[in-house]
Amino acid sequence: MSTPMNAHYTATAKTLHWLIAMLIFGMLGLGFYMTGLDVSPTKLQIYSWHKWVGVTVFLLVVVRLAWRITHRPPALPQHMAPIERIAAHAGHHLLYVLMFAIPLTGWLMSSAKGFQTVWFGVLPIPDLLAKDKALGDLLQTVHVVLNFVLIAVLLGHVGAALKHHFFDKDDVLTRMLPGRAD
């Protein structure tokens, strides 16, 4: 075997994975919670936080993609069937696409609705789109649909990791866990 079974992801890859994972779960919860609120100062505050964190996630994903391209991850276990390998690669590609597309549609939708995104209330992110109500509503739908796709892919991602750990008893899950650095 060219790749030892105990090969881990790099500490940077692990940190980015878990940091982004926590932010995504928090953002999903916040997103569903805030849209149901009646208009109030709290709601406007939460929307701002959601946007700020969204920009942050986007930047972390840029770093993560750069790291991923320049650092080869551990290979998939030998026992995986070709169809499982295809599914694993497709799922990971889709996660990267969604991690870019969801913050981008959020930002564009915010612009189209006439709310500029000002990162942490300090750094204004330029508006790529002019105010356009119909376009804003469309982008909102796209943002929501992409998030449902994300939830489905995440269920597959977590389910697969648990299957690898408990059924296949390989190191796919543990090599992404903190500690045991090589």
Please, which of residues 108-127 interact with another protein by CB under 8 A? 113-118, 121-122, 124
Residue 31 CB, nearest distance to another protein (Å)? 16
| Binding test (CB under 8 A) with another protein, winner from 3, 6, 45, 141 | 45
Phi first, then psi, for residue 124 (nearest 5°) are -70, 130
The alpha-carbon radius of gyration of the chain (Å, integer) is: 19
Please, which of residues 127-156 interact with another protein by CB under 8 A? 131, 133
Kindly tell me the burial class for residue 34, based on how many C-beta atoms sit within 10 Å of its own C-beta (0-12, 13-18, 19 or more).
middle
Phi/psi zone of residue 43: left (φ > 0), alpha (ψ -120 to 50 degrees), beta?
alpha
Nearer to another protein, 122 or 181 (CB): 122
Establish if 36 lies at the interface with another protein (CB under 8 A).
no
Establish if 48 lies at the interface with another protein (CB under 8 A).
yes
Kindly tell me the burial class for residue 110, based on how many C-beta atoms sit within 10 Å of its own C-beta (0-12, 13-18, 19 or more).
buried
Chain residues that interact with another protein, rule: CB under 8 A:
39-42, 44-45, 48, 113-118, 121-122, 124, 131, 133
